[in-house]
């Protein structure tokens, strides 16, 4: 009797899973990740305005790349990205901290956010959970990192690290200092709060510096020096009055 109930439960779960997949693909219209990956070897995949500057991965400073990895997904190149919901369940079962899949998860969310068909409410959460593993398989690690570094929103109207370096520090990303790199790596979480609360921005920045030190990206002396630097942003561009804007 118990075996029959377990079998029936398993069939029921399979039926629900199949229905969810069918619903997401044919009713909701989640993005076709395999097609996107096959037709976009480089360049933006999420932003509607694809005229904005896009920086190939090879032209993004290596320290900046590694700082983002240390902050978001420390084992990005070493292990497959797991569905964050599944990873959280595993962490609870085995009493450990969940491993972050921030880079892969970020690309998944930007694909869904820019989709004209998908999705809101519960479908948004289901769509993300369904697509994240497809994203991890369809794109190479380098391509995922390139998309993430170019498409994540960092506040002040800037998408990607190149635009943010100019928006916040008024300089190209190739000459950013360690503390500025760490701040960019932390900004994506809540850039609006960081602008208002420099104490929080400093705390988040210093956590990234600590992770950079743990990953042997910088020396102890460099980390100490970066932590001592004040939080300094260039002034935000003044808004143009509506009556003075070009048509």
Domains of the chain: 21-40+75-152 (no CATH), 156-233 (1.10.3810.10)
d(CA 103, CA 136): 10
Cβ atoms of residues 152 and 159 within 8 Å: yes
Q: What percent of the chain has pLDDT over 90?
A: 29
d(CA 97, CA 38): 35
42-101 pLDDT, tens per residue?
Answer: 788 876 565 567 899 999 999 999 999 998 888 888 876 565 555 555 445 555 454 556
113-170 pLDDT, tens per residue?
Answer: 766 666 655 555 566 677 778 888 888 999 999 999 998 888 888 889 999 999 899 9
28 or 131: whose pLDDT is higher?
Answer: 131
pLDDT at residue 19 in the model: 33
Indicate the pTM of the whole model.
0.75
pLDDT at residue 166 in the model: 92
Tell me the DSSP string of the chain.
Answer: -HHHHHHHHHHHHHHHHHHHHHIIIIII----HHHHHHH-SSS-SS-S-TTS----GGGS-HHHHHHHHHHH-TTTTTSPPPPHHHHHHHHHHTTSPPPP-HHHHHHHHHHHHT-SS---HHHHHHHHHHHHHHHHHHS-HHHHHHHHHHHSB-STT-BSHHHHHHHHHSS-GGG--HHHHHHHHHHTS-HHHHHH-HHHHHHHHHHHHHHHHHTTSS-HHHHHHHHHSPP--PPPPPPPPGGGS--
C-beta neighbour count of 230 within 10 angstroms: 7
């Amino acid at each position: 009797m118990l075996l029959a109930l377990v079998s029936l439960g398993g069939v029921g779960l399979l039926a629900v899973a199949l229905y969810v997949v069918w619903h997401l693909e044919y009713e909701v219209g989640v993005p076709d990740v395999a097609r996107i990956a096959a037709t976009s070897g480089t360049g933006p995949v999420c932003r509607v305005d694809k005229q904005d500057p896009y920086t190939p991965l090879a032209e993004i400073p290596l320290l900046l790349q590694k700082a983002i990895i240390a902050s978001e997904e420390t084992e990005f190149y070493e292990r497959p990205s797991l569905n964050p919901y599944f990873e959280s369940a595993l962490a609870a079962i085995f009493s450990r901290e969940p491993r972050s899949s921030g880079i892969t998860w970020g690309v998944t969310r930007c694909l869904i956010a820019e989709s004209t068909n998908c999705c809101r409410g519960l479908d948004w959460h289901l769509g993300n959970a369904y697509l994240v593993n497809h994203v991890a398989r369809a794109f190479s690690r380098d391509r995922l990192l390139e998309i993430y570094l170019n498409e994540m929103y960092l506040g002040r109207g800037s998408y990607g690290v190149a635009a943010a370096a100019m928006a916040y520090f008024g300089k190209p990303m190739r000459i950013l200092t360690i503390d500025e790199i760490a701040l960019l790596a932390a900004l994506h979480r809540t850039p609006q709060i960081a602008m208002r609360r420099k104490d929080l921005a400093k705390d988040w920045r210093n956590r990234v510096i600590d992770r950079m030190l743990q990953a042997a990206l910088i020396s102890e002396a460099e980390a100490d020096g970066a932590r001592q630097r004040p939080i300094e942003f260039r002034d935000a561009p003044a808004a143009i009055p509506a009556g003075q804007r070009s048509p």
